[in-house]
Amino acid sequence: MSGAADAVPWLPAGKARLERWLADTHVAEGEVTDVRILTGGTQNLLVRFQCGARNLVLRRPPLDRAGGDRTIRREHAVLTALSGTDVPHPRLCGLCEDVSILGGIFLVTDEVDGFNATVTMPGRATTDPAFRRRMGLALVDGLAELAKIPAHGDALQSLGSAEGFIGRQVGRWASQLEGYSSIDAWSGPAALGPVAAVGAWLETNPPGDFQPGLMHGDYHIANVMFRAEHGGLAAILDWELAALGDPMLDLGRLLIAWPNERNEGLLSLKVEPWDGFPRREDLIAHYAERTGRSLVSLTWFEVLACYKFAIVLEGTHARAQAGLADPATGKRLHQSARGMIARAIDTIDRN
C-alpha cells in the first residue's frame, strides 16, 4: 500500500488527465491523493483515491488482459440498472471510454463505507455471535433484493437474454472445459473427476420453474461489504460476471462456498470467528421466506454452481501447467475444482 500515485504504474502519466475528467464530469474537483491499490476482484484492477472531499474507487481492466473492456461495460450496465433500487451497491459516478486518459476504459464509484469479512472483522463482528448471524442472513437479504430486478430494461440489454438459460448451461461450460485442450501441458478433464457425469445429470434433470432475472454471477461472502454498526449489507461488489439468467444460481453459488453440516467449506472463507454464522439450512429457509419462491429445484442450481466454478477454476490450473500462471495458485484452484465436482456428486447422491 502507498499513498502515492506512483504506487500504481499506469497512473502517474495520466494523473492530471484523470483530475480533469473528474472535474469535467462533475464527479469531484481537486488533486488525486491518498492512492491505494485494493485487493479483491478477479477481472479488474481496483484503486482507491481521494479527490477533493470524495473518496472514490476506480476500476479498469488489467493492461495485459484481452477483452477486459467487456467486464467494465458489464459492471457499468449493472450499476446503472441498480440505481434507485434496494440492492446494496457502490454508487456509480461515471464511465470513461476515452483510452487516452489512462490507457484503457475505466469506471469510478464512491468508496463503500463498510468492511469485508475476509479481510477484517471489526468490533461486534468479532465479539458478538448474534451480530455474525445477522451478517449471514444479510447475505440472503441481498440476494432477495437482487431477485426483484427484472431481466429486462434498457440498462441490461447489453447482458444478452435470459431466454434459454437453463438449456444452454451444460453446453456452455463443457465447451469452455474442452477449450483448455488447446493448452498442450494441461492434464485434461479426467483429473477433475467425474465432471462429465455431473454435466449429464444436469442435462437430464433440468428444473421446471425457471424464473428469469439478474444474477450477480459470483456471490459469496468475500464479494460484499458489511455495515460495522449493525451487520447488514453495505454493498454487493464485483459485478464482473453478472448476467441474465435465474437468480437461484446465486443462492447455489453462496451455498457451495458455505460450510456444510460436516464443517466442510470449499473456498476457504477465512472468516474468524465463525461461530454464530447461520447454518446453510438457515440461509435456505431465509431465502424462501424473503422471496416466496419454491426451492424444489435448488439441488439443480447448487450442482450447476459446482460444475460451473470447477470449470472456471480449472482454467487457471491449465494455464499454470503451461507456465502462464502461478503454479501454487493453479494447484490450489485445481484441488478446489476437484472438491466442487466431488461435492456435486455427493449432492446428487443425497437427493
Tell me, what's the pLDDT at 267?
A: 53
Confidence class of residue 244 from pLDDT cuts 50, 70 and 90? Answer: very high
pLDDT tens, residue by residue, 175-200: 999 999 999 999 999 999 999 999 99
Listing DSSP states for 204-268 in one string gives HS--S----EEE-SS-SGGGEEE-TTT--EEEE---TT-EEE-THHHHHHHHHTS--TT---SS-
Tell me, what's the pLDDT at 44?
A: 75
Tell me, what's the pLDDT at 265?
A: 57
Q: Do domains 5-110 and 124-350 have the same CATH topology?
A: no
Domain residue extents for the chain? 5-110, 124-350
- Which CATH class name applies to 5-110? alpha beta
pLDDT tens, residue by residue, 285-316: 999 999 999 999 999 999 999 999 999 999 99
Tell me, what's the pLDDT at 67?
A: 58
Q: What is the mean pLDDT of residues 10-37?
A: 91
Tell me, what's the pLDDT at 307?
A: 97
Just give the CATH number of 124-350.
3.90.1200.10
Residues 157 and 148: their CA atoms lie apart, in Å, by 17
Tell me, what's the pLDDT at 40?
A: 57
pLDDT tens, residue by residue, 130-170: 999 999 999 999 999 999 998 877 778 888 889 999 999 99
pTM beyond 0.85:
yes
What rounded mean pLDDT belongs to the chain? 90
Give the strand pairing for 233-236 and 106-110: unpaired
